[in-house]
Amino acid sequence: MASAINRRQFIKACAVLTLGFTTPISFAQGHRDPRMVVLILRGGMDGLAAVPAYGDPAYRSGRGKLALGTPDTVDGVIDLDGFFGLNPVFENLAQMYAGREALLFQAIAPPYAKRSHFYAQDVLETGLTNPAGSASGWLYRALQGLSEGRDPEKYGYSLGAGIPRIVQGALPVGAWAPDRLPDPDEDTLQRLMALYEQDSYLGPKVRAGFNADEMINAMGGKLRGGNNLTTVAKAAARFLTRDDGPRVAVMDSGGWDTHAWQGTTKGRLANRFRELDTVLAGLKQDMGSVWDQTAVVIITEFGRTVAVNGTSGTDHGVGGAAFLLGGAVNGGRVHSDWPGLAKEKLYEGRDLKPTLDMRALFAGVLHQHMGLDRGFIEEQVFPGYRDQVSGLIRAG
Amino acid sequence: MTIFSQYRAMNRFGLGAGPLDLNAATADPKGWLLQQLEIQQDPGPQVPDAATSLSAFYEWRNERKRLMSSEESERRAQELTSLQRGLAAQEQSNFFKRFEYAAHTRTPFRERLVQFYSNHFSVSRKGKRMISLACVAYENEAIRAHLDSSFADMLLAVMSHPVMLFYLDNNNSVGPGSPAGKRSKRGLNENLAREIMELHTLSVNGGYTQQDVQALAKMITGWGFGGYNNRNPAVKQGEFFFYKQNHEPGPQVLLGRQYDFQGLEQGRAALIDLALDPSTARFLATKLASHFIADTPPPEAISILERSFLDSRGHLPTLHRTLVNLEAAWDPAHKKFKTPNEYLLSAVRVFDLPFNGRIRKLIRSGLVNLNQRPFFAGSPAGWPDDTRYWSSSSALKKRIEWGLATGASANTGLHKIEQAVAMLPTDAGDLQLAMKRAESPAQAAGLMLASPEFQWR
C-alpha cells in the first residue's frame, strides 16, 4: 500500500517537473490561434424544450402539453437527424447546424444528480465532484496552463457584472462589464492609483480594470448598452478579435428556472431562446474571420423534469442539453447516448438520465481546440478524470 | 482619529461610520451595539403594506389590460407609457425610502441584521414583477418585525408571507390527493419546499432527500394568499390564506419523523422542527460568521455561534449578542469587502449626504451599475457575500468612477471632509494625507469614497 502511494506521488512529482520545463500547449501555434467562449445559462435550461427528442416513443406522453409538434406541423420542431429536433425559435442556430458549425449534446450533466441549482453550478464550475469552500474554477485552472508565456489575466476574461466561479482562483482574471458612469479625470486617477498600490489585493485588479476599458474603447469607441447578454457578447467579440486581446471569454445569463408557465414556441422560455439565438448570430457576425477559429460552449447546471409540473412549468431535473458552436467545430450532428424517455428509463422515475459527464466535453474542447496537454488536464483541470469526447473539432 | 474598536463597531457591525454614529459609538463601542439589540421602536421605512401593494399591482394590471384591449392609437401608446412609468416610480419611491431609512438610522447594527436576514430569505422581483411593489413591505413584515424573536418565528412569518409564497411558486402548488388536485390537473410545485431546506434552514448538505422535498412540499400545499382572481369573500386580496381544498391530506414523513397534524398545523410543525435542526444552527452560524468576520471565518467562531443558537433554541437577540462578543469579529486581521449596497450606504453616511435629487440619481445609477439593484438577486440564494464575487476588475473600476463622481457632486464642504478624515482609523495615514493634499474638497471627498480603505469594512 505504502509503495503504491509513493509511486503515485513520484509520478505526480515528475509531471509537475515536466510542466515546469515544457509548455502544456501541445501543438505549434503557427497558423492556429484558437478562441474559446463559455456561456453559462443559469437556472437549469430545459434541454428537452431546446432539443426535443421528438422521435422517442415516450416523448409526447411524457412531455404532455409541453411537447412540440413533429417537423411537418405548424410550429413543429426543426428536424435535426430524424430523432432529435430543434425548437423552431432557434432560427440562427438551425442555420449553424445546417452549416455543420453546431454540435448539440443531449443527456449531458455535470457529475451531480441532486437538483440543487447552487450545488450543481458549483460542480459545473469547479469541475469537481466535491466543490468544497474555496476550490477554484476549472476554467481558471485551464487558463494557468493555456496562458503559458502570457499573463493569465490578459489571456482570460470574465464579461458582465460579477466573476463567475468557473474563472475564480487565487489570481484575478481579466474582467469587463458595461457601465454608464463618467470617466474620471487623469489627475485624480493618478492620486488614487498611488493609494491602490498599497493594497496588494485590490491594486492589481484595479489596474487590470482600467486596462480592459482602454482596450475595448480603442475598438469603435465606448461600448454602450445595458448589462445584458447582447452587450456582453459584443464586448466578447471586440476583445477576442484583437491581436493582443484575450483568447478565452466567459459570460453568463440568468432566468432559465422555468417552474411556471414556460410555454413551448411562445412564452417565457421561447423568449429566452430567441434572445440567445439572436446573440449567437450577432457573435458569429462580430467575430468575422476569427469565427473559423472559435468554439463557443453553452452549458447549464441541469435539465428539468420530463413531465410538466402542476403549474405548466418544469422542476429541477438532472440530464440536460449543451451546445458547442463555432467555425472550428465539427458540427451538424447531435451527440447523445440516448437513455430514452420511457418512465422506467428515467433517473428516479422523473428525470432524463445523464449518459455523458460534462467534463468530457470541457476536456475535449480544451485539448482538441485549445491545444492544452492531456496530462495537464487530467492532473490540474479535472484531477483524476480522464475521459473526453473525441472529434469535437474540425480537422485542418 | 478614531481607535480601531470604534471604527470597527461603526463599519463592521454598523452601516458605515458617519456623524450620526460618532458620539454614541465612541464612548462604548460594544455597549452601543448591544443596546441596539434591546427592543426598539423600529417601524422600518414607511411604505404601504404588502396586501395594499399587491392589490395596487392588480389594479395596475387591470388598467393595463383595459388599455391593451382598446383600439390602438397614439393616445393609447402614451397612456401605456405613463402607466408603465407610474409603476416604476412607485417601486423607486419604496426603494429610496428603504435606502434613506438605512442611511439615517441611529441603530445601524440592527438595520444590518435586517438586511442580512432579508438576504437570507431573499425575494427578487427579477422576472416576478407582481411582487415589485411589495418587497419593502415584505422585509418590514416578515423580517424586521421578528428580529426580537426566534428564528422559527421569522421562518414561519416568511413562509406564510404572500411575497415569498408567490416568489417561489407555492401559491400554485396543489396536493395531488387534495380535493382540488383530484378535480383539476393542477399539481405539486416543489420549488419553495426545496429552497426552504437548501437555502433557509438545513443547507444543501443538511441530510435531506428528494423524498423529504416532496414531503415538505405536500405539507405546505394550500399555503397561499388572496390573488388576482380571488372571488372568495372569506379571502382578503394580498393576505395569507390557507386553501384547505388544495392541501394534501394524510400524514407525511420528513427527515424520518412523521407528521400526523391536519391542515395548516402540519406545515407549521415541520417548519418549526426545521428551524431548530442542528444543521440549521450550523448553517446560520456559518453565514453569520462569514458576514461579520471574514469570508472564511475561524471555525471556533462558527462553533460558538452554533452553540448559542442551539442553547437558546434560535433566539435571535441572544445569538446577536454572542456575535458582538466574538473576539474574532474585532480582530484587525479579518476584513470584509463591502457589497455595492453597503458601499453606497456607507458613502451617504460618511458625509451625511442630503437626500436630494442629485444624490438619489447617483444612488440609483450606483446600484444599477454595480449590479445590486434592490430586491433583484439572480437566484433565491440572494446576493453573494464574499470578496471575490464583488471585487472583479470591472466592478472596482466602476466603484472608483462612482466614488469620484459622487465626491465631486456631493458639495461636502470643508468641515465634513475634516470630520470624515478624523473618523478614519490610525492606519489609514496615506488616505488622510491624500485627502489633505487634494486640490479641492470635491476631490478629497472623491478620493475617500474611491479609496481602497473605503471598500473594506
Task: Name the residue range of residue B222's domain.
Answer: 165-276
pLDDT at B231: 85
Kindly state whether residues B349 and B422 are assigned to the same domain.
yes
Rounded Cα distance, B66 and B73, in Å: 14
Residues 43-102 of B with CB under 8 A from A: none
Q: What are phi and psi of B148, to 5 degrees?
A: -95, 15
pLDDT at A97: 98
Please give the tally of structural domains in chain B.
Answer: 3
B323 within domain boundaries: yes
B369 within domain boundaries: yes
* Cβ B106 vs Cβ B147: under 8 Å: no
Residues 358-417 of B with CB under 8 A from A: 365, 368-371, 378-379, 381, 384, 387-398, 400-402, 404-405
Q: Do B127 and A255 touch (CB under 8 A)?
A: yes
* Cβ B206 vs Cβ B195: under 8 Å: no
Cross-strand partners of A25 = A372
In angstroms, how far is the first alpha carbon of chain A from the final one? 46
Rounded Cα distance, B271 and B414, in Å: 54
pLDDT at A133: 64
For residue A149, is pLDDT > 80?
no
**Pairwise pLDDT comparison (B155 vs A207), residue with the higher score:** B155
B316 within domain boundaries: yes
B449 within domain boundaries: yes
Question: Is A367 exposed, middle or buried, given 0-12, 13-18 or 19+ CB atoms closer than 10 A?
Answer: buried
Of A181, A189, A348, the CB nearest to B402: A181
| pTM metric for this prediction | 0.79
For residue A18, is pLDDT > 60?
no
Q: What is the DSSP letter of A327?
A: T
Q: Do A181 and B405 touch (CB under 8 A)?
A: yes
**Res. A24 pLDDT band, cuts 50 70 90:** low
Of B169, B398, B431, the CB nearest to A195: B431
3-state secondary structure of A288: helix
Of A163, A210, A227, the CB nearest to B389: A163
Q: Do A212 and B379 touch (CB under 8 A)?
A: no
Kindly state whether residues B194 and B289 are assigned to the same domain.
no
In B189-321, DSSP assigns E strands to: 223-225, 240-242, 252-254, 257-259
Q: What are phi and psi of A258, to 5 degrees?
A: -95, 75
Of A179, A191, A260, the CB nearest to B169: A260
pLDDT at A31: 67
For residue A23, is pLDDT > 80?
no
Q: What is the DSSP letter of A366?
A: I
Query: What's the angle, vertex CA A210, arms to CA B410 and CA A216, rounded to 5?
Result: 115
Interface ipTM:
0.87
Q: Do B173 and A175 touch (CB under 8 A)?
A: no
pLDDT at A21: 38
**In B, which residues are within 8 Å of A254 by CB distance?**
126, 378-379
Kindly state whether residues B309 and B383 are assigned to the same domain.
no
pLDDT at A213: 82
In A55-171, DSSP assigns E strands to: 78-79, 85-86, 102-109, 156-159
Kindly state whether residues B236 and B176 are assigned to the same domain.
yes
Residues 243-282 of B with CB under 8 A from A: none
| Chosen from B183, B388, B392, B401 to mutate, greatest number of chain A CBs within 10 A | B392
Kindly state whether residues B181 and B267 are assigned to the same domain.
yes
* Cβ A177 vs Cβ B371: under 8 Å: yes
B104 within domain boundaries: no
Rounded Cα distance, A101 and B17, in Å: 57
Residues 285-344 of B with CB under 8 A from A: 296
B149 within domain boundaries: no
* Cβ A46 vs Cβ A314: under 8 Å: yes
**Pairwise pLDDT comparison (A87 vs B27), residue with the higher score:** A87
Kindly state whether residues B346 and B437 are assigned to the same domain.
yes
Distance from CA of A44 to the nearest CA of B (A): 12
Q: Do B401 and A181 touch (CB under 8 A)?
A: yes
Q: Which residues contact A270 (CB under 8 A, 6 or more apart)?
A: A87, A89, A263, A264
Question: For residue B187, which of A320, A307, A66, A59 has the smallest C-alpha distance?
Answer: A307
**In B, which residues are within 8 Å of A168 by CB distance?**
388
3-state secondary structure of A6: helix
Model pLDDT for residues A158-196, shown as the tens digit of each residue: 998 778 899 988 777 888 888 778 888 888 999 999 999
Kindly state whether residues B443 and B353 are assigned to the same domain.
yes
Query: What's the angle, vertex CA A78, arms to CA A75 and CA A83, rounded to 5?
Result: 120
Biggest CA-to-CA distance, chain B: 76
Kindly state whether residues B285 and B350 are assigned to the same domain.
no
pLDDT at A36: 98
Rounded Cα distance, B107 and A154, in Å: 45
Query: What's the angle, vertex CA B234, arms to CA B230 and CA B235, rounded to 5?
Result: 40
Kindly state whether residues B368 and B438 are assigned to the same domain.
yes
Rounded Cα distance, B441 and B274, in Å: 54
Question: For residue A126, which of A113, A147, A114, A141 has the smallest C-alpha distance?
Answer: A141
Closest-CA residue of chain A to B194: A116
B254 within domain boundaries: yes
> Where among B248, B276, B304 does a domain terminate?
B276
Rounded Cα distance, B173 and B194, in Å: 13
**Res. A32 pLDDT band, cuts 50 70 90:** confident
pLDDT at B412: 75
Of A115, A180, A310, the CB nearest to B189: A310
**Pairwise pLDDT comparison (A2 vs B98), residue with the higher score:** B98
**Res. A11 pLDDT band, cuts 50 70 90:** very low
Q: Which residues contact A190 (CB under 8 A, 6 or more apart)?
A: none
pLDDT, tens digit only, all 457 positions of chain B: 467 889 999 999 999 999 888 878 878 999 999 999 997 789 999 999 999 999 999 999 999 999 989 888 889 889 999 999 999 999 999 999 999 999 999 999 999 999 999 999 999 998 789 999 999 999 999 999 999 999 999 999 999 999 999 999 999 999 999 999 999 888 999 999 999 999 999 999 899 999 999 999 999 999 999 998 888 888 999 999 999 999 999 999 999 999 999 899 999 999 999 999 999 999 999 999 999 999 999 999 999 999 999 999 999 999 999 999 999 999 999 999 999 999 999 999 999 998 888 899 999 999 998 999 999 998 899 999 999 889 988 899 999 999 999 998 877 778 888 888 888 887 788 999 999 899 888 899 999 999 999 999 9
pLDDT at A396: 65
Kindly state whether residues B212 and B294 are assigned to the same domain.
no
Torsion of CA A46, A51, A57, A61, to 10 degrees: 30
B202 within domain boundaries: yes
**In A, which residues are within 8 Å of B385 by CB distance?**
none
Q: Do A188 and B447 touch (CB under 8 A)?
A: yes
Closest-CA residue of chain A to B371: A161
CATH assignment of A2-178+223-381, among 3.20.20, 2.60.98, 3.40.91, 3.40.720: 3.40.720
